[in-house]
Structure 1
């Protein structure tokens, strides 16, 4: 629909009579409540659309099932940051005005983390920098007492920087991370969840993008008993671009859940999302939900999201739900896709027809499937580390 058609529809809608001022069906991502107040999010029952795939009994109390008077009082994972010129690291109290300046909790676990943390780590990168060395944020857990954590990252205008978040050790943690991206900045974030087997990690990673900025967010998840991440990108200025990529590998008994949200509320912004998952073993479970919202007051939007899942054994289950909401006809393009399945038989036939034994051919297919995301990380040492982990996973496959 062109601009004239869009204007006509708006005029027609304005002239129509309605018995109510507003009709909402509760299915839009835009309708989700946001609040700093924990009491605004009822105790979870598991029947909520946003939680129907998540086994609440495995959350280890991070959702505060006993009511709003409880808090997460355990020791938060230790945070350490590599020292780089132009980068400052602070430990601040919860009353610091930077915290929550654009991030508002949008579910009970995020609100529980907000209500519970006492100190936060603030990382500030100055304006107009070209930082070649990746900044590494090490998050190391050493406790299984339910805890809350808050990290705030601010990147100045026109700065280019790579940021790596390595999450290791054992923890039961609800975590909020904010990324404030300045105008014209180019920021590459890779978040690696390499937790110990007993870890339960619920995380919200929210980014606000300034005018003409570029933000790449890569999620790599293979550790932990249950990991549920909600990466969110919001456009605060025109001409911004986000690329949201993810790779997850679930073994027997693991629950790995990723729910992305890209909120196109500003003109001429671009987004691309690609997540890939591989699953093996009895009870391996992954969930991917992609929400892209293109609001009615925008134009010039270009957006695409895709999720692919490779089932490597019996007993594994993957759920994939791409959601695309378009409230305007004035867009450049928008689309979504997802798939869940076993090996591509044509690829397998091609390799075997050239003399490659079937088990080797299957592992080659898995390797190629995973490498598409690994190559998007763009940080050589991180790509090498993730490749080594995935090679170990592939070597142990019985195909």
Structure 2
């Protein structure tokens, strides 16, 4: 394989968000903060093992992810695909479309790249419309696994892909997604792992001219789940919709670092992540970065994160960032909010004869249903609403 072009160990600083603590620790040095400036490489050694002080790791339990910093010795997951005619497993290094867009942003992603000698390929032919969702069931069987999956939507194709993760594993996963001109692709990644599972994933997508990509991250199960989407709206008139839903229990860490790059002109982006948390040490992390590049004139973009903390001891970290490099945009904004139950809503419901327990249930369901309803798969919608009900069992003030 031809050696890939690699970013320098430290990218030159531009107009980045400043970390005063890091400056104090290393006076005179401003660390890379913005997502667009971070080093990228296929070689894990170029990143080294994280310490937890790096901007992209400081909210993550690094010590517990240590098994993912080295290449897997076995295959800890199995695959079942509903539409096998679209699925193959033979993309070695240097074979297109593998590597057409994807370059790892951290050590786990680089490890997954090197550990996947034969990447998997899910390809939707040009002009084909797939009526039913293509379901890829990924079952953990108790070991370490590295994985690289290329999902390619051909020109003017239409498809929905659902990735379902269950069982237990120590799983490093790369998704390379290419949405070609005029295509419409929806991807739903559902994490239903057992409590001891570790899952760190990098989802990188390029959306070409007049194409549309809708991306969902749904995280309920797993001890540590870190799913980081990176979507580039490369083509003129492309659209990107990034949605997330999570419910963190006691001891769980659920994380998403979202990057939406408006590169082409007249692109549209919408980011909405919602989460609920209950139980001691339940922890969620959402970091949202939107970059509107110098050529992205006419862009319309908005990102928001909302979190509902249901019990004492739960914590939600929420950090939105917005960079704009052109003055000719249709609109851009971001928002973040984390809070507890709205006492007025509870009072309103209880005043109409609804018990406090049922009132709390209705408030949470109403809060999270906004994301559930955007998943246009009725059976999955019903399943997620039932899962939320199950999570709410036993929640008290």
Fold-level similarity (TM above 0.5): yes
Partner Cα distance (2:341, 2:13) in 1: 47
1:11 alignment counterpart = none
Report deviation, 1:76. Answer: 4.0
Q: 1:113-152 counterparts in 2 under 5 A?
A: 113-144=112-143, 146-152=144-150
Q: Is contact 1:126-1:155 (8 Å) kept?
A: yes
1:6 alignment counterpart = none
1:348 alignment counterpart = 346
1:81 alignment counterpart = 81
What is the aligned counterpart of 2:40 among 16, 34, 38?
34
Report deviation, 1:23. Answer: 4.8
Change (3 A) 1:340 1:81: same
Q: Structure 1, unaligned stretches of length 5 or more?
A: 1-20, 65-70
Q: Is contact 1:75-1:143 (8 Å) kept?
A: no
Change (3 A) 1:84 1:72: closer
Q: Give SS of 1:230's match.
A: strand
Q: Give SS of 2:187's match.
A: strand
What is the aligned counterpart of 1:57 among 48, 56, 63?
63
Q: Is contact 1:60-1:200 (8 Å) kept?
A: no
Question: Could you tell me the TM-score, scaled by structure 1's length?
Answer: 0.89
Alignment of 1:177 onto 2:175: yes
Question: Could you tell me the TM-score, scaled by structure 2's length?
Answer: 0.90
Q: Is contact 1:60-1:172 (8 Å) kept?
A: no
- CA shift digits 1:40-92 (9 cap, x unpaired): 2132111111100111111142124xxxxxx222314112211266x343333
Q: Give SS of 1:371's match.
A: helix
Question: Bigger shift: 296-305 or 343-352?
Answer: 343-352
Q: Is contact 1:79-1:121 (8 Å) kept?
A: no
Q: Give SS of 1:349's match.
A: helix
Partner Cα distance (1:28, 1:390) in 2: 34
1:330 alignment counterpart = 328
Question: Runs (4+) of structure 1 moved beyond 3 Å?
Answer: 21-25
Q: Give SS of 1:143's match.
A: strand
Partner Cα distance (2:396, 2:344) in 1: 20
- CA shift digits 1:320-359 (9 cap, x unpaired): 0011111111110000001111011221222122222222
What is the aligned counterpart of 1:157 among 152, 155, 158?
155
Please tell me the root mean square deviation across aligned C-alpha atoms, in Å.
1.6
Larger radius of gyration: 1
- CA shift digits 1:246-275 (9 cap, x unpaired): 000010000111111001111110000100
1:230 alignment counterpart = 228
Change (3 A) 1:43 1:95: same
Between the two proteins, the alignment pairs up a number of residues equal to 371
Q: Structure 2, unaligned stretches of length 5 or more?
A: 1-11, 17-31
Change (3 A) 1:172 1:123: same
Q: Is contact 1:141-1:171 (8 Å) kept?
A: yes
Report deviation, 1:95. Answer: 4.1
Report deviation, 1:156. Answer: 0.8
Partner Cα distance (1:384, 1:22) in 2: 47
Alignment of 1:91 onto 2:90: yes
Partner Cα distance (1:253, 1:350) in 2: 33
Q: Give SS of 1:61's match.
A: helix
- CA shift digits 1:357-399 (9 cap, x unpaired): 2222111101111111110111111112212211211233234
What is the aligned counterpart of 2:49 among 27, 43, 54?
43
Partner Cα distance (1:343, 1:369) in 2: 10
